[in-house]
A = this chain, B = another copy of it.
Amino acid sequence: MSKPYVVGIDIGGTNTVFGIVDARGTIIGNGSIKTGKHSKIEDYVDELHENLFQLLEKNDAVGKIAGIGVGAPNGNYFNGTIEFAPNLPWRGVLPLADMLSEKFGIPVALTNDANAAAIGEMTYGAARGLKDFIMITLGTGVGSGIVVNGQLVYGHDGFAGELGHVIVKPVNGRACGCGRTGCLETYASATGVARTAREFLEIRKDNSLLRQIPIQDITSKDVYDAAIAGDQIAKDIFEYTGQILGEAFANFTAFSSPKAIVLFGGLAKSGDLIMKPIKESMERNMLNIYKNKVTLLFSELKESDAAVLGASALGWEAKDRK
């Protein structure tokens, strides 16, 4: 008999969250550990195993797990490795899928967090039934997962889909954490919005609610609050951000002609403030044959569950690694 559950594990810089998920996308049990507690990956895997095994026992799920899916920064689907992830405590190439698979005796599949989000959305969320879409996660950074013809695009090396690092400003672009300049992420992430706020406040002289906050402390949440309160500079910041995203989306469309672009993350929840300028800019910059064909969608997964659900969806297709 096929097994009724999968496990999803999302490894973030701060927390590792995990859950047991059924075929309908219900999380029947979950938990978390601190990612940074162990300087040795082996100790981390031990603690993860211990906590997750307890969760399986508590939920009468031992022996009922079809597969484990892992979403992790710099996760490589082909090798099941995490490779040179700057925000995790362990260096180099980590064979995490093999390590977990050995511990649990269950197939493990691993990919980066944005790819996991795309699979989650396709399995349980806004992209159900879609064969061609692009998932864009607007968080501290900008991540992406691209689905073509019903399959996630991994590329020849397992690292495809880094649309946050497409260079959108070839001239005088902002410095990016990746060492280059002008990446989409430097404009369209939460930190990018905060940078735009600082730039606008320095260049412009008009009044703004944002001037009540020390300029280095301004967050994208502050910009959102100010925009909701009617602040013009704050609204212009969203306009500017949406315009850059719309231009990028028009270019992405020329690549894979998706039916939809699915947005996820804090910034995406800013509603019309960001969606209206994105949509306008996207259509204005779109090649004629693509105009008015691409739908902008929001993620339909609850933000607190999305990471675990996304990773878990990968568990259904996990195969034995040996």
Does A49 have its Cβ within 8 Å of any Cβ on chain B? no
Q: Interface-forming stretch among A149-157, A189-197, A224-232, A306-314?
A: A149-157
Contact B256 A155 (CB under 8 A): yes
A169 vs B166: C-alpha distance in the bound complex, in angstroms? 13
Contact A167 B289 (CB under 8 A): no
Known: A255-B161, A255-B255. A250 touches B155 (CB 8 A): no
Contact B155 A258 (CB under 8 A): yes
Neighbour of A132 across the interface among B149, B156, B250, B255, CB < 8 A: B156
A321 partner residues in chain B, CB cutoff 8 A: none
Number of copies: 2
Interface range on chain A: under 10, 10 to 19, 20 to 34, or 35 or more?
35 or more
A241 vs B170: C-alpha distance in the bound complex, in angstroms? 15
Does A305 have its Cβ within 8 Å of any Cβ on chain B? no
Does A171 have its Cβ within 8 Å of any Cβ on chain B? yes
Looking at chain A's contact residues, is the secondary structure mostly helix, strand, loop, or mixed? loop
A162 partner residues in chain B, CB cutoff 8 A: 254, 287, 289
A168 partner residues in chain B, CB cutoff 8 A: 170
Contact B170 A247 (CB under 8 A): yes
A135 CB to nearest chain B CB (Å)? 13
Contact A178 B287 (CB under 8 A): yes
A290 vs B178: C-alpha distance in the bound complex, in angstroms? 12
Contact A254 B156 (CB under 8 A): no
Known: A165-B254, A255-B161, A255-B252. A156 touches B131 (CB 8 A): yes
Q: A-side interface residues toward B, CB under 8 Å? A: 74, 83-84, 130-132, 146, 148-149, 151, 153-163, 165-171, 178-180, 247, 250-252, 254-259, 285, 287-290, 293
